[in-house]
Structure 1
Amino acid sequence: MNASRSLRAAVAAAVIAAAVLSAAGRAAAAIPKKDVWYTQHYVIMQDFEKKAYRKMSETGRQAFQELFWAVRTADARATFAARLEHVKKNFWKENNQQPWNTDRSRVYLLNGSPASIDVDQNAGWATSGTPTQFLQATDRSNEDVAANRAEVWVYPFEKYFIKYTFTFVQPYSWKIVQGSGNRYLGDLETYNREVTFGVADLEAYKAQIGALVAKKK
């Protein structure tokens, strides 16, 4: 009976893992990878900036990269630099070429350090993993996550608590599977794009961006 129950649990874990991997694959297709500056900054950019940037020539993009921080405060730039340094040091195992370009890194770059991180620990890694791995024992003793299978990052926003849930996917990847407090999650992210990393004179900035888009060379 116990063996049958364990097998059912293993199959359920495999199905969940497969769903996570499938969703992650679809999301990954939309994530930029080639333009290093853009991969670092697009998560804090507003929609009109991303749309304009994609239309610019290479020369226009280089000018935009300088303009982007010129119209923002020194504090905003220092905040971003500190967050970028943090993700380089702490999330490099997931993507050693672009450690800022992972689910946890993008949330950290935009929102900063969470107020708390709740962890769900898995005591039986023999029944976790991808469909081809879930019956295999997995040694995670040398990993800094200490066999955590999920992390929940909590951010207070106004009178609410916004939560991001990440699940572990072998061999070493954390995929976002849920943002709860969803009604206000978008408000938190918009606040950080428009206020934490906001622009003082938005209309003048948009005019400058328009000129860069129109510039063909």
Structure 2
Amino acid sequence: MKSKGLNYLIPLILLSSFFFTNCKGKLIPTGDIWFAKHYIIMQDWERDLYKSLSEEGRLKFQQLFWQFRSPKSLELFEKRMNTIETQFKKENYSQPWNTDRARIFLLNGSPSHIGYSESSSWFTPQDRLEKDNEDIQSRMIEVWDYSFEGGTVKYEFFFNPPNEWRLNSNVYRDPFLKEFERRNKERFFGILKKEEYEKELEKLRKG
């Protein structure tokens, strides 16, 4: 009986890992390609509404989303997405936009500086002597710096073998970084005619 239960459980775990990915502690359905691509540039209330809609409602939402944003915003989105599909393909071949570094790049653009360091919390100097290069690489941190308001905001990505870089969610404890992202949403992908847009979305919500 126990092994039979595991036989049912394992496919469910694999299925859930296929359809969902994590971003800042929130699950993003990877089965919805449009949502996965646009998630990071959407407002929280847009995400909530989108998830509540029927398939037909979501298609209408997708049209309205870009209808009420500048053509330059769409052009920038497509330009950055083209870069993502080339630069981050090693991390996720089928959905390169569904990686932590790709989402940060899509929202903020290229960092002013990229650096690398070892996580001292993971191993001691003596450990370093005993580990091979692959072990040390698995403890690497990639740091993206962005200039903002006369200072710097930082994103840390931990290397997860064989080829994934995972965002350290602790960076969101910094209110300075949250403000940086909020402004970039408005700067690069801001909503035009917001009241009219909200009225159209309300029609979708009511069905």
| Cα distance in 1 between the residues matched to 2:26 and 2:187 | 29
Change (3 A) 1:203 1:25: closer
Asked if 2 retains the 8 angstrom alpha-carbon contact of 1:46 and 1:194, the reply is no
| Cα distance in 2 between the residues matched to 1:137 and 1:81 | 37
Q: 1:130 — aligned with what?
A: none
Asked if 2 retains the 8 angstrom alpha-carbon contact of 1:121 and 1:148, the reply is yes
Q: Could you list the runs of 5+ residues in structure 2 that have no partner in the other structure?
A: 1-20, 124-129
Letter in 1 for 2:186: E
Q: 1:154 — aligned with what?
A: 145
Q: 1:169 — aligned with what?
A: 160
Q: TM-score, normalised by structure 1?
A: 0.73
1:105 CA displacement: 0.6
Q: 1:185 aligns with which of 177, 185, 200?
A: 177
Q: Which moved more, 1:58-67 or 1:170-179?
A: 170-179
Number of equivalenced pairs: 178
Change (3 A) 1:181 1:60: closer
Change (3 A) 1:25 1:51: closer
Asked if 1 retains the 8 angstrom alpha-carbon contact of 2:138 and 2:160, the reply is no
Change (3 A) 1:198 1:29: closer
| Cα distance in 2 between the residues matched to 1:29 and 1:46 | 14
Change (3 A) 1:26 1:79: closer
Asked if 1 retains the 8 angstrom alpha-carbon contact of 2:172 and 2:178, the reply is no
Change (3 A) 1:75 1:52: same
Change (3 A) 1:93 1:37: same
Does the residue aligned with 1:200 lie in a helix, a strand or coil? Answer: coil
In percent, how many aligned pairs have the same letter? 37
| Cα distance in 2 between the residues matched to 1:102 and 1:158 | 27
Letter in 2 for 1:35: D
Change (3 A) 1:36 1:83: same
Alignment partner of 1:41 is 2:38? yes
**Quick one: higher RCO (CA 8 Å, sep 6+), 1 or 2?**
1
Task: String of CA shifts for 1:144-189, please: whole Å, max 9, x gaps.
Answer: xx99922111111122211001111111110112427812101011
Task: String of CA shifts for 1:53-75, please: whole Å, max 9, x gaps.
Answer: 01111111101111111111111
Q: Which moved more, 1:81-90 or 1:187-196?
A: 187-196
Does the residue aligned with 1:99 lie in a helix, a strand or coil? Answer: coil
Letter in 1 for 2:134: T
Q: Which moved more, 1:57-66 or 1:173-182?
A: 173-182
Q: 2:78 — aligned with what?
A: 81
Q: 1:138 aligns with which of 128, 134, 140?
A: 134
1:194 CA displacement: 2.4
Does the residue aligned with 2:39 lie in a helix, a strand or coil? Answer: helix
Q: TM-score, normalised by structure 2?
A: 0.76
- Higher helix proportion (structure 1 or 2): 2
Alignment partner of 1:207 is 2:204? no
Q: 1:10 — aligned with what?
A: none
| Cα distance in 1 between the residues matched to 2:77 and 2:183 | 15
Alignment partner of 1:105 is 2:83? no
Asked if 1 retains the 8 angstrom alpha-carbon contact of 2:117 and 2:142, the reply is yes
Instruction: Please report the RMSD computed on the Cα atoms of aligned residues, expressed in angstroms.
Output: 2.9
